[in-house]
Amino acid sequence: MATEKLDTATRREQIAEAALALISEKGMQGLAIASLARRVGLVNSALYRHFNGKDEVLDAMLDLIGDRLMANVKAVRRESARPLDQLRQLLMRHIRLIRENQALPRIVFSEEIYSGKPERRTKLFNIISRYLTNVSDIFSEGQKNGTIRSDTDPLVLAVMFLGLIQPAAILWHLSNNKFDVTKHAEKAWGIFADGLSR
């Protein structure tokens, strides 16, 4: 009725973002074409004007997530010059990203994403690998720098870095947001960084 017509480029963005929001609120189960369409003010069928199917929506979502992860990396590289500070900042940004957007862990952990279309698993792997590579670059710089011990593989450190947040994020989620991720991350980072610099 009163639904204004918007071009596909705009709609695709709206829809991908609505998908993230929906998942954040209702979980993967909540991501139904009908709900998704309604959320951007359309009916089911209209969604197919902009995406060939649900698969394409999922792909678009993954791209969005990749963008946000990389945006965080770029931001912290701008904000500070010292690797250890950059990492700490990144940790906090990552937590904020997850808190504001619960869709992120839910998508990464869910197989609905790639159970139908195995290539999407590779896509997700690439997104995470790219993030890890960037994180490990920061570690490398710290090692050249002398602020981080050089006897350890930076890629291992990068994966450990993710490990500072991940289980905490799950506990936060399972505990109905009672578990304090930020506090945990601060303490864990303290211990980790302590070990790094010696």
Partner DNA sequence: TCTCCAAGTGAATATACGTTCACATGATAT
Partner DNA sequence: ATATCATGTGAACGTATATTCACTTGGAGA
Q: Does 43 bind DNA (CB under 7 A)?
A: yes
The answer to whether 124 touches 114, Cβ cutoff 8 Å, is yes
Q: Out of 20, 42, 98, 103, point to the residue binding DNA (CB under 7 A).
A: 42
Select from 159, 198, 22, 164 the least CA-distant residue to 88.
164
Q: Does 115 bind DNA (CB under 7 A)?
A: no
Q: Which of residues 154-193 bind a copy of itself (CB under 8 A)?
A: 156-157, 159-160, 162-168, 170-171, 174-176, 184, 187-188, 191-192
Task: Find tokens 């350890």 and name the residue.
Answer: 152
- Taking 3-state DSSP, the helix, strand and coil percentages for the chain, each rounded to the nearest 5, stand at 75, 0, 25
Q: Which of residues 110-129 bind a copy of itself (CB under 8 A)?
A: 110-112, 115-116, 121-122, 124-125, 128
Select from 139, 126, 43, 34 the least CA-distant residue to 84.
139
Q: Out of 1, 111, 118, 151, point to the residue binding DNA (CB under 7 A).
A: 1
Query: Which residues contact DNA (rule: CB under 7 A)?
Result: 1, 3-8, 11, 29, 31-34, 41-46, 48-50, 53-55
